[in-house]
Amino acid sequence: MKKIITLDKFIYQALYEKKKGYYTKNISFDKHGDFITSPNISVLFSEIITIWIIMYWQNIGRPKKFDLIELGAGNGEMMFQIINTSKIFSDFNNAINFYIIEKSDYLKKVQKKKLYKFKIKWINNINKFKSKNKCLFLGNEFLDAFPIKQLQKIKNTWYEKYVHEYYESRTINNKKINIKKYHNILGIEFIKNKNFIEFSPSLINFIKKLSIHVKKCYGGVLFIDYGYLKKSMINSLQGVKGHKKYNILLDKGEVDITHLINFYFLKKILNDNGLNVNGITTQGNFLRKMGIIERAELLSKNKIFSYKVNLYNRLKRIIDKKEMGDLFKVIFASHKSIKFKKGF
C-alpha cells in the first residue's frame, strides 16, 4: 500500500511509534550503540555542568526550594553524576528537587534502573510539570530528537519534502505548498530571506510551553546540542547507525534520525517567547571557561600513566575543536530579570 506523508511525520514514526520506533526499543548510548553522548564519554562533563548549576542557583539568591528538570535524560548518566556531585554542597543539596521529563517508556525504565537510589520524579510531558519553585531546565542532545520539516524555494515557488512509502521502498519528493501557512510559525521576514528552511513545528511548540514555565518560576534553560550559528539554513538531516551516517529511508525504526540545530533560529524562538538569551558559545569554550582542564589536572595528580591517558583522551573528545568541542553549542536562556553569563 502506498503512503505519502510529510517528512516530520515519517521521522516521528521512525523514532517514536509504539514498539516500532527507535527510541521505544533497546538502544545504547555508548560505543556499542549508534552514538555516544558527552556524559557517557567523561564524568568531567557532568561535574562541570553541576558546578555551573550550583553557581546559577547562587546567582538567583540561593532559593530554599529549587527544581532541576532534565529534558530527555537518555540512559540517566548525566543525572546520576549531577546528583552524586551535588551531594558535597550541603546547602544546595538540601534545596534541590530532581525531575526528569521523558516520553519514552523504554528509556524511563533504563533511567529508573540506574537512578533507583535517588529521589527523582518522572513526568511524561511538560504539560504535567506544576511546581512553582525557582527552576532550571537542562537538555543535553535533546533538541535534535524533534522531527523536522524541510521547505525549499525553487524558481519562486515553495515546496515541502514528503516521504513516499510503498511497502519497504521509500523516496523523498517535493510537493508544492502555499508558504503563507507557515507565516505565523516562522515569521514573514524570516521566510523572505530564505531559499531553504529546516525547522521543527513540534520543537517550536515545546519551546512555547517551556517558556511559560521558565517565566512563571523566574528560571532558566540550558541547552547543549550539536549545531551551527548562522542566519542561512542547511540541509542537516541525517541517519546514524553504528556511529556512522546511514540512509534515513532504510530500516525504519532501527536508525537514529537527527539534525543539526540552527542556534540563530533557536535564539529567535526563545526571544519570541519572551526569554532573554544570556549567551551562546561552543561546548569546548564553555567547559574550558568553567575550569574543566584544571579539574582534569587535579584528578590526574599522582595517578598512574594509563589513568592519565584515558582521562585526557576522553577530555579531548568533548573539548577539542576537531571533535565535539566546536560542533556542539551551548545556549542559556532565562527570565528577563536574570543576568547570568558564567561560561559564556
* Residue 117, domain member (yes or no): yes
Q: Please report, for the domain that includes residue 234, its CATH number.
A: 3.40.50.12710
Give residue 101's pLDDT. Answer: 96
List the domain range (segments joined by +) for residue 217.
2-286+324-334
- Segment 293-323, tens digit of pLDDT: 998 888 888 888 888 889 889 989 999 998 9
Q: Tell me if 106 sits within 8 A of 24, measured CB to CB.
A: yes
Q: Which whole-number Å values give the CA distances from 219 to 33, 71, 81, 249, 329, in the listed order?
A: 35, 15, 22, 40, 20
User: For residue 247, is it within any domain?
Assistant: yes
Residue 103 lies in a domain: yes
Q: Where are the alpha helices (DSSP H) in the chain?
A: 7-16, 38-41, 43-59, 77-86, 90-95, 105-114, 183-186, 188-192, 201-216, 263-272, 283-289, 292-300, 305-319, 324-327
Residue 309 lies in a domain: no
Tell whether 156 is covered by a domain: yes
How many CB atoms are located within 10 Å of the residue 118 CB?
Answer: 13
Q: Which of these ranges, 18-22, 35-39, 89-93, 110-114, has the smallest mean pLDDT?
A: 35-39
Residue 301 within any structural domain of the chain: no
Q: Sign of torsion, CA 20 22 28 33?
A: positive
Domain count, the chain: 1
pLDDT digits (tens, 9 = 90+) for 104-129: 888 999 999 999 999 999 999 999 99
Nearest alpha-carbon partner for 193 in 259, 143, 268: 268
Q: Name the burial class of residue 57, with classes exposed (0-12), middle (13-18) and buried (19+) by CB atoms within 10 angstroms of its CB.
A: buried
Q: Is 303 part of a structural domain of the chain? A: no
Domain-located, residue 172: yes
